[in-house]
Structures are given as structure tokens and as C-alpha cells.
Amino acid sequence: MKKIKFILNNNGFTIVEIFLAVVITAIVLTIITSMIIQAFNVFDSSTRRMSAAQLAELATTEISGHLRTATSYDKDNDEEKWRFNGYYSNIEDYVEFIITKDGDQLNISIENGIYEDRTIIHNVDDFDITKMDSGEFVIFIEVNDGDNIARKRITVNSRN
């Protein structure tokens, strides 16, 4: 009977019990928080690396599409400028494409009655288009986002 009376007269927790509950909760929350922060850091770095690679891929895809129709090609090493004539589907005619590397950005201009000048990609460390003896073009691009470097090299055959 004494035990039942003792349990019924217990009105709350002791300071030691409350302190232990707070300490255990803090430890669990610290572990969970550090795991969440680590997961976000991995996600952020992989996103930046993937973004640099995707930008390099997009630039080479666009340039290779134009090079497939190239009928002439000229490279100016002094100005980091590449010129070629090719078919442009938006106006259904042959135009002159001019690709320039200006600092860390790659620009493309399309000239033939219309003029389109736009930046294809930023953070370009290295870029080159080389015409091989076989008539193939080799496009190389290196993109650096500060933390990661993405390199892309593709070979394009001209249809003309």
C-alpha cells in the first residue's frame, strides 16, 4: 500500500531528470543538424560541378550544330576569333558565324542581313576549334566555376 501511495503523491520531475532530458535532446538535435548540413554541402558542390559540365555541353552542342553546315573556316589566333560560313535555319540561308573568346566568356555573332551577338557561356578558361586534315572539326572547351573544372572535347563532321 505504501508503494501506491508514493506513486500517487509524485507531483513532477526532479531537476536532474529535466537536465538529463535536455542534454539528451541537445545531443540528438546536434547529430541530426550536422547530418543535414553535410547533405546540403554535398548537394551544393555536386550541383556546381554539374552546372559547369552542363554549360560546357550546351556550348559545344550549339557550336557543333553550326559547324555541321560549315562551307569555309578561318581561325585568327591573335584575337581568339573563329570564323566560318554555314547554313542558318532561322533565315534559311548561309551566313557567317563568328565565335570570339573575350576574357572568360564565349560569344557568337551571326552576320547576314541580321546581326545576332550573344554570350554563349561564361567562366571559359580555354576554348579552341581545330580543323583536321580529314575535314573534321575538334571543339575543346574548359569551364571553371571556381571550385570545379569541366572539360569537353567533341569531334564534328561537316556535311559540306
Confidence at residue 12, expressed as pLDDT on a 0 to 100 scale:
75
Confidence at residue 120, expressed as pLDDT on a 0 to 100 scale:
74
Please say whether the beta carbons of 156 and 60 come within 8 A: no
Percent over 90 (pLDDT), the chain: 11
Torsion of CA 90, 93, 96, 97, to 10 degrees: 30
Q: Give the residue among 80, 20, 51, 82 at the shortest CA–CA distance from 150.
A: 51
Distance CA 159, CA 157 (A): 6
Q: What is the pTM of this model?
A: 0.61
Mean pLDDT by 10 residues, the chain (160 residues): 57 86 95 86 64 80 81 79 78 78 83 67 84 85 81 81
Write down the mean pLDDT value for the chain: 79
- CB burial readout 103-134, b (16+ within 10 A) else e: eeebebbbeeeeeeeeebbebbeebebebeee
Q: pLDDT tens digits for 100-113?
A: 888 888 888 887 65
Residue in the block written with cell 557561356: 121
Q: Which residues contact 22 (CB under 8 A, 6 or more apart)?
A: none
Determine if residue 34 is left, alpha or beta; phi over 0 gives left, psi from -120 to 50 gives alpha, anything else beta: alpha
